[in-house]
Amino acid sequence: MSQKVFKTAIALGSNLGNTQANLETALEILDQTPGVRVETHSSWYQTKAVGPPQPDYLNGCAILQVTITPQDLLNTLLTIENKLGRVRTERWGARTLDLDLLLYEQLILNQPDLQIPHPRMYERAFVLVPLAEIAGNWREPLQGRLIQNLLQEVDNSDVHL
């Protein structure tokens, strides 16, 4: 009997070290993780950092096919961040790798350590631009709106290929 496969979306970002290598290594590790398959990923976009003064980010999104729970996927993302040198010192500080779980099918989840859809994805061009590239027709579950339509409501002038 086959397991149910869930379509998920994640955001990836890096602004320390070899940023493109950090992002691509994270995708390779994810694709080798039991219960996770990387279906596709967006182009990489250079974006201005949010928060304290720091280098620009390289950001992108990926669509995953998973058979693991949202909590297990979150734990996997956190483990990969740590493996690639993520150190949490200040909120929105510079980092080698940031992996955020954005969407998990049409699930709406609100737990202290995990909210799906990601609560700030709606206001972040650095998430919506790459997500629209690979999943523009995905309807987010809270308002039932297409990702490509959400993108039209944010200023994406600081997001560049």
Closest among 126, 139, 144 to 60, alpha carbons compared: 126
**Catalytic residue of the set 37, 56, 86, 145:** 86
Q: How far is CA 74 from CA 46, 79, 104, 141, 160, in A?
A: 25, 9, 11, 19, 28
Tell me if 97 sits within 8 A of 80, measured CB to CB. yes
Unique residue bearing structure tokens 């279906």: 39
Tell me if 116 sits within 8 A of 107, measured CB to CB. yes
> What's the distance, CA 118 to chain centroid?
9
Q: Is 158 a catalytic residue?
A: no
Q: Is 113 a catalytic residue?
A: no
In whole angstroms, what is the distance from residue 74 CA to residue 70 CA?
6
**Catalytic residue of the set 37, 56, 72, 100:** 100
Could you give the residue numbers annotated as active site?
86, 95, 98, 100
